[in-house]
Amino acid sequence: MVKTVIIETQGGPEVLTVTDRPVGEPGPGEIRIRHHAVGLNFIDCYQRSGLYKMALPHALGMEAAGVVEAVGEGVTHLKPGDRAAYACQPPGAYTEARVMPAAQVCPLPDGISFEEGAAMMLKGMTVQYLFHRTVPLKAGDTVLFHAAAGGVGLIACQWAKSEGITLIATAGSDAKCQMALEHGATHAINYTTEDFATRVRELTNGRGVDVVMDSIGASTFEGSLDCLRPVGMMISFGNASGPVPPFDLGKLAAKGSLQITRPTLFVHIARHEDCQAMARQLFGKVLAGDVKIQIDQRFPLDQVQDAHRALEARKTTGSTILTV
């Protein structure tokens, strides 16, 4: 029996319940992994709240790191005793141990701790697909990145700096803006005291940015479009302030033949080979020192409700993990 966080109904943090559940043996294509640390992400809140519908009851959590205890038939890239980390479907990472599909579980290099592994997989591979699989960014390009002091944002700031990309960060306080600058952002805008669209135009001499990467959603969407150069790309990859409401596609033409996409990590990592290659690039960035994983909050598994409240109130910076 292992401690596992489940929801029986969707709602606020109070629906998160810690219970004891059995963990069995892995079948073909599966592993059993004993977690050392678990990552916390906004997608967990979306699944808990009902923004993303799911069959109930269900365990939550998309990201963790630990040690492989057993492997099922056909699993060749992992063996018992291996250190491993993952960010993948199905939810169920908020637990001490689990049986799960092996294809998107990645061998974790010795130079990366379990806590770093749990804090970096979903966020780091998100940055990888934003920078390398959604738009072919190159040195000299300019990106506007919202929520730049969060877990994804701080990785993005460092990733951009390592590749010669100008990153304009937004955040909700002067302290968070300073944090983004310290992690490699070229400029930072406090969106609570400045109009970020106006400031972006000033910083780019009226041209606009090549790409906007927006995980906030409803409250920043219109302003984000106003930050783009003609034929620029809007990447809407999250809903922290709520989902983007329906809008008139004609606005894209009027604002400069803009492009827009709504990607998700889980499409990009669906193929085993792609997932492992993305993880290797992320691990390489961390091992080279180009990206440092900042963990600013740690909560015991049985305090998961408090962790969700802190994340949704935007009281967190960097990454947040659950300890098991």
Q: Which domains does the chain have, with CATH numbers?
A: 2-121+266-323 (3.90.180.10), 139-262 (3.40.50.720)
Q: HEC profile for 57-109? A: CEECCCEEEEEEEEECCCCCCCCCCCEEEEECCCCCCCECEEEEECCCEEECC
Amino acid residing at 50: G
Helix boundaries (H) for 131-271: 151-162, 174-182, 196-203, 221-225, 250-254, 265-268
pLDDT of residue 98: 98
Averaged pLDDT, groups of 10, the chain, 324 residues long: 97 97 97 98 93 93 98 98 96 98 98 97 97 95 96 96 98 96 98 97 98 95 97 94 91 97 96 98 98 95 97 89 96
Residue 73: count other Cβ atoms within 10 Å of its Cβ: 9
Amino acid residing at 5: V
pLDDT of residue 243: 87
Check whether the bond before 230 is cis (ω within 30° of 0): no
Helix 151-162 to helix 114-129 angle (10° resolution) is 70
**284: alpha, beta or left, given left = phi > 0 and alpha = psi -120 to 50?**
alpha
Helix 174-182 to helix 151-162 angle (10° resolution) is 40
- Mean predicted lDDT score pLDDT of the chain: 96
Order of strands, sheet of 58-59, starting from the edge strand that comes earlier in the sequence: 17-21, 2-7, 58-59
Tokens at residue 183, please?
């992690």
Note if the pTM is more than 0.85. Answer: yes
pLDDT of residue 240: 83
Residues 6+ apart with CB under 8 A from 35: 64, 65, 66, 93, 95, 96, 97, 98, 118, 324
Tens-place pLDDT, residues 155-211: 999 999 999 999 999 999 999 999 999 999 999 999 999 999 999 999 999 999 999
pLDDT of residue 39: 97
Residue 12: count other Cβ atoms within 10 Å of its Cβ: 13
Residue 249: count other Cβ atoms within 10 Å of its Cβ: 9
Give the span between the Cα atoms of 179 and 176, in whole angstroms: 5
pLDDT of residue 143: 98
Give the span between the Cα atoms of 17 and 297, in whole angstroms: 20
Give the span between the Cα atoms of 83 and 276, in whole angstroms: 14
pLDDT of residue 267: 96
pLDDT of residue 163: 98
Give the span between the Cα atoms of 220 and 145, in whole angstroms: 11
